Amino acid sequence: MVLLVVGRVALGIVGVLLVLALAVVVAGTFLPRVPVIGFLGSFVSGQYPLHAALAAVLGTAAGAGLLALGAPRFGGAVAVLAVLALVGTLVVLGTQASAARRAGVPIDWGLALTAIDQRGAPPDLVVEYLPGLELALHLPSGPGPHPVLVWVHGGSWVRGTTADRARTNRWYADRGLAVVAVQYRLPSDPVLPGATLGEAQRHDVARALAWVRGPGAAHGLDPDAVVLGGQSAGATLALSTTAALVGTPRSSLPDGAAGPPPRRPARPSRSTRWWT
């Protein structure tokens, strides 16, 4: 009798925790504009959809176990909610698999399950583009010139590194797209005189872009095939820097970073240190 009660309590705790977590993930996935929940759900389902689906399977098993141990109402509620979460996570998995199939990209499900972080993909080259600030380059094989993704990391404006998407960057590079991950100054770094938070970071991103379209040519980067992207704070920086560079009204860069870089340098430098 004691073991039965202990089993119910243990399964009940596991089931409730799983169902609550899955409810946040699924709700946030399909309601991304809801504060906090939308961010958490979109992040987990986007980065770890297979893990979320397996958690839903465990939740369903916990509900079934509670039913078997004589807790029909509680077990039934846990099982039903877990099954609904499983359906939601399978929709995400199916959407991702369909998108990959249309793009002709095979999915390694074993790697998707085991590679839970971005470690293990060091850059091919690290260069200093401003004093104390670096670019991490993941380069395709061959001499180039290669099209370039300039990647600006996220981190709520206070954290983040060029290694945040190292595995993803390596994946792109293995398929012919060079990736240049930008280290930009954070609040704990030396400030850019006269620039506010956001302006200084736009300055850094603009100078990184200028490096890519200037000395970067010596490393096989195509100055005429550059895309600027990012995540979270990095996405904001990518958009606002692009707006300033193309002259969008009320968009600007601090002094020293104004204007787009030349489209193709006459004599690209081979130095690994470059700034203006």
What's the domain count of the chain?
A: 2
Same domain, 16 and 108: yes
Q: Could you give the percent of the chain with pLDDT greater than 70?
A: 87
134 within some domain: yes
Per residue in 164-219, pLDDT (tens digit) is 889 889 989 999 999 999 999 888 777 766 566 778 888 899 999 999 989 999 99
Same domain, 43 and 136: no
Same domain, 131 and 93: no
269 within some domain: no
Residue 216 sits in a domain whose CATH number is: 3.40.50.1820
Same domain, 152 and 237: yes
257 within some domain: no
113, 148, 180: which is the final residue of a domain?
Answer: 113
Tokens of 194: 């006269």
Per residue in 46-75, pLDDT (tens digit) is 888 899 999 999 999 999 998 888 888 888
Same domain, 140 and 168: yes
21, 72 contact by CB (below 8 A): no
236 within some domain: yes
91, 113, 135: which is the final residue of a domain?
Answer: 113
Lowest mean pLDDT among 28-32, 107-111, 146-150: 107-111
253 within some domain: no
pLDDT at 151: 96
pLDDT at 253: 59
pLDDT, greater one: 225 or 272? 225
Domain containing residue 92: 2-113
Same domain, 130 and 241: yes
Same domain, 132 and 103: no
Same domain, 179 and 227: yes
Average pLDDT of the chain to the nearest whole number: 84
271 within some domain: no
3-state secondary structure the chain: CHHHHHHHHHHHHHHHHHHHHHHHHHHHHHCCCCCCHHHHHHHHHHHCHHHHHHHHHHHHHHHHHHHHCCCHHHHHHHHHHHHHHHHHHHHHHHHHHHHHHHCCCCCCHHHHHHCCCCCCCCCCEEEEEECCEEEEEECCCCCCCEEEEEEECCCCCCCCCCCCCHHHHHHHHHCCCEEEEECCCCCCCCCCCCCCCCHHHHHHHHHHHHHHCCHHHHHCEEEEEEEEEECCHHHHHHHHHHHHHCCCCCCCCCCCCCCCCCCCCCCCCCCCECCC
252 within some domain: no
173 within some domain: yes
Lowest mean pLDDT among 104-108, 225-229, 255-259, 269-273: 269-273
Same domain, 67 and 152: no
Same domain, 75 and 49: yes
HSE value, Cβ hemisphere, 13 Å, CA-based, for 37: 14
Same domain, 93 and 142: no
Q: Could you give the percent of the chain with pLDDT greater than 90?
A: 45
Residues 34-40, mean pLDDT to the nearest whole number: 89
Lowest mean pLDDT among 1-5, 39-43, 97-101: 1-5
pTM attached to this predicted model:
0.71
Same domain, 75 and 148: no
Averaging pLDDT over each range in 23-27, 101-105, 170-174, 177-181, which range is the top one? 177-181
